[in-house]
Amino acid sequence: MGQKQPEERDAMATNKKKVLYTDSMGKGGIEILKARGDVEAIAFNYFMKGADYQALLRKEGPVHGVILGATPFGVAEFEASGGIEVVARTGVGYDAIDIPGMTARKIPVMIAGTANSPSVAEQAMTFMLTLARKGPQLTKLVAEGRWADRLKPEYVAVDMFEKTVLIIGFGRIGTRTAKRCLAMEMTVLVYDPYVKPETIRAAGCEPVSDLDAALPRADFVTIHCPKTPESVGMFNAARMKLMKRTAYLVSTARGGIIDEKALHAALTDGTLPAAALDVFDREPPDTENPLFKLPNVILSPHIAGVTAEAMERMAVEAAKNVLSVFDGQPRKENAVNPDVFA
Is 283 one of the annotated active-site residues of the chain? yes
254 a catalytic residue: yes
Residue 185 to residues 179, 216, 229, 243: CA-CA distances in angstroms? 10, 20, 34, 21
Give the long-range contacts of residues 179-185, CB within 8 A, separation 24 or more.
Answer: 179/121, 179/203, 180/121, 180/122, 180/125, 181/125, 184/160, 185/161
DSSP letters, 154-222, are GG-----TT-EEEEE--SHHHHHHHHHHHHTT-EEEEE-TTS-HHHHHHTT-EE-S-HHHHGGG-SEEE
What is the per-residue DSSP string for 83-140? S--EEEESSS--TTB-HHHHHHTT--EE--TTTTHHHHHHHHHHHHHHHHTTHHHHHH
- Our answer to whether residue 36 is catalytic in this structure is no
Task: Out of 224, 254, 264, 313, pick the active-site residue.
Answer: 254
H-run or E-run covering 67: strand 65-68
Of the candidates 217, 254, 213, the one whose C-alpha atom is nearest the C-alpha of residue 233 is 254
Catalytic residue of the set 239, 302, 313, 317: 302
Write down the catalytic residue from 79, 162, 283, 333. 283
- Catalytic residue set: 254, 283, 302
